Amino acid sequence: MHKPGARQAVLTYILIGAILIVFMVPIYLILASSLKPSVDMFSRPPSLFFKPTLQHYIDLFTLRPFVSNIANSLIVTLGSTAFSVSVGSLGAFALSRIRHRRIDDAAFWILSMRMFPPIAVVVPYYIIFKAIGLLDTPLALIIVYSTANIPLTVWLMKGFFDEVPEALEEAAQVDGYGIVEIFWRISLPLAAPGLAVCAVFCFIFSWNEFLFALMLTGSSAQTVTVAVMSFWSSDAVQWGQIMAGSFIILIPGVIFVLTCQKWLVKGLTLGSVK
């Protein structure tokens, strides 16, 4: 791209400034409202300078079982991430190394498992988990989230393994390494950045998920997203607590964007954009 002239630069900044305001206002509102006393919540004009209070956060953690919601979310999220990354990177290695003309089809088939609408399988999950007594347990969500996380891991890790030079692996084989050793001691360490990227994507997806958590958990395995939504359905809407909870939930995603945005493109477009 060429370097814009002064007039074009001013115009660009004006337009982008307006866009930035539109896209940032809702995020600012979450933070501001979580710190606003309830009386100021909808004050006209919106009070830009209010006396911030941590009351909503205190209420959230003392009046609600939000600590156990966070614990549930973390168990589910970390459990599914660990499981998906382990299973998925094995599968990805195989797909990357097997030479067969149908291997791309297999990779697409695995990826397609991630793209089906969750609502279409939630009924069978509900019935099956009810029958085997897993309804309202973190294990149920770990299993369900892995159905989305494993395909993504396989797909992304395949790209990372493809970039590990096979010559290194061949050399290791000459030295008497078996394929398991080659995977574990050569290829996996070289594809380690990919593991981190996959883990982060699995984490964010599981942490943010709502539909399955809503349908498959009751009070004991309730995750943060379902909990925050439940503050709404009580008699009086607790906007302060909703916003405080929302702010806590959005923290991991924001950290992800700020620290490793270069991987966002690859992960979210499933590699269709370089």
Partner 1 sequence: MGYVTRRNRTIATAFLLPTVAVLFLTTIYPMLYALYLSFRNYDLAKPFIPRIFVGLANYSEVLTSDTFLHSLLITFKLMAMTLVVQFVLGVAMALLVTQRLPGMAVIRTLLLIPMMISPVIVGLVWLFLYFPELGYLNYFLGMVGIDPIPWITSTQWSLTAIAIADIWQWTPFVMMGTAAALQSLSPEPYEAARIDGNSSVDVFLYVTLPQLRPVLISLLFLRAIDAFKIYDIIYVLTKGGPGDATETIALYIYRQSFTFWRMGVGAAASFVSLIVISVLITLFFKSMQKSAAAR
- Which range touches partner 1 (CB under 8 A), out of 3-11, 47-55, 57-65, 188-196? 3-11
- Residues between 143 and 182 with contacts to partner 1, criterion CB under 8 A: 143-144, 146-147, 150-151, 154, 166, 169-170, 173, 178-180
Nearer to partner 1, 9 or 58 (CB): 9
CB of 60 to partner 1, least distance (A): 14
x/- mask, partner 1, residues 77-116, rule CB under 8 A, reads ----------xx-xx-xxx-xxx----x-x-x-xxxx-xx
Question: Which residue is it, tokens 């369900």?
Answer: 144
**Does 203 engage in binding with partner 1 (CB under 8 A)?**
no
Comparison of 133 and 273: residue with beta carbon closer to partner 1: 273
Measured from the CB of residue 134, what is the shortest distance to partner 1 in angstroms?
A: 12
254 binds partner 1 per the rule CB under 8 A = yes
Distance CA 161, CA 30 (A): 40
Q: Which is nearer to partner 1, 44 or 51 (CB)?
A: 44
* 264 Cβ contact partners less than 8 Å away, ≥ 6 residues apart: 256, 257
Shortest reach from residue 191's CB to partner 1, in Å: 14
Q: What is the 3-state secondary structure (H, E, C) of 117-169?
A: CHHHHHHHHHHHHHHCCCCCCHHHHHHHHHHHHHHHHHHHHHHHHHCCCHHHH
Binding to partner 1 by residue 71, rule CB under 8 A? no
Q: How far is the CB of 169 from partner 1 (least distance, A)?
A: 6
Choose among 96, 80, 78, 260: nearest CA to 190: 96
Residue pair 232/117 in contact (Cβ under 8 Å)? The answer is: no
Q: Compute CA 14 distance to the chain's CA centroid, rounded to the nearest angstrom.
A: 33
Give how many residues touch partner 1 by CB under 8 A. 103
The binding track of 213-252 with respect to partner 1, each residue x by CB under 8 A or -, is -xx---------x--xx--x------x--xx--x--xx--
Packing angle of the helix pair 66-97, 55-62 (nearest 10 deg): 80
196: contact with partner 1 by CB under 8 A: no
- 43 to each of 33, 37, 54, 145, how far by Cα in Å? 11, 10, 19, 41
- State the minimum distance, in angstroms, from the CB of residue 164 to partner 1: 12
Checking 267-272 for CB contacts under 8 A at 24+ apart, the result is 267/152, 267/156, 267/197, 267/201, 270/111, 270/152, 270/155, 271/155, 271/156, 271/159
CA 96 to chain centre: 25
Does 128 contact partner 1 by CB under 8 A? yes
* Minimum distance, C-beta of residue 230 to partner 1, in the bound complex (Å): 11
Residue 112 or 219 having the CB closest to partner 1: 112
Least distance to partner 1, CB of residue 137, Å: 15
